Amino acid sequence: MSSGGIFVIFLLACGAAAATGVIFKPGTWYEALKKPAWTPAKWVFPVVWTTLYILMAWAASRIAVLPENGVAMAFFAAQLALNTLWTPVFFGAHRIGLGLVVLVTLVVVVALTVRAFFAIDWIAGFVMLPYLAWLGVAAALNFWIWRHNGRAVS
């Protein structure tokens, strides 16, 4: 299969993660939470996430056709599963503390994914950097919300 075909499969994979954002909406529960002044506007999230999913599918499809990609592909699968997990934990189950645990784990696994990508193809690694940066913002936001809304670990 061509690199383009593999890109489409990775887009489908990211689509499964992206679907969580459609199925588990913020809603009134999230509206009522205390949030920091620097919380991005609501419209920013779907725009940023759509962009990031396309970029990560592209990066992964570059890595997928290169030799010695085992570690990189394993980390990519792990980060995508963790990414799919966060939204239902936070917005579905309303478990802010557990969401923070998932998100911090995700940041670490994405950092390892980026390192593994850079080791094979610097363009693929570079393309993943906005995702890692955004996760930093998301983790800071999740942490702030946890800290100012009861600090429950659940």
Binding site for a copy of itself (CB under 8 A): 1, 3, 5-6, 9-10, 12-14, 16-17, 19-20, 23-24, 60-61, 64-65, 67, 69-71, 73-78, 80-85, 88-89, 92-93, 95, 98, 102, 109
Residue 91: other Cβ atoms inside 10 A: 19
Shortest separation between residue 2's beta carbon and a copy of itself, angstroms: 10
What is the SS3 assignment for 37? coil
Q: Which is nearer to a copy of itself, 44 or 66 (CB)?
A: 66
Residues 143, 151 contacting (CB under 8 angstroms): no
Calpha distance 147→124 (Å, rounded): 35
Q: Which is nearer to a copy of itself, 92 or 130 (CB)?
A: 92
Q: Which two tokens stand for residue 92?
A: 């579905």
Q: Which is nearer to a copy of itself, 16 or 140 (CB)?
A: 16
Q: Which is nearer to a copy of itself, 44 or 93 (CB)?
A: 93
The distance from CA 59 to its chain's CA centroid, rounded to whole angstroms, is: 14
What is the SS3 assignment for 121? coil
Residue 137: other Cβ atoms inside 10 A: 14
Length of the chain: 154
Shortest separation between residue 96's beta carbon and a copy of itself, angstroms: 13
Shortest separation between residue 7's beta carbon and a copy of itself, angstroms: 8
Shortest separation between residue 67's beta carbon and a copy of itself, angstroms: 6
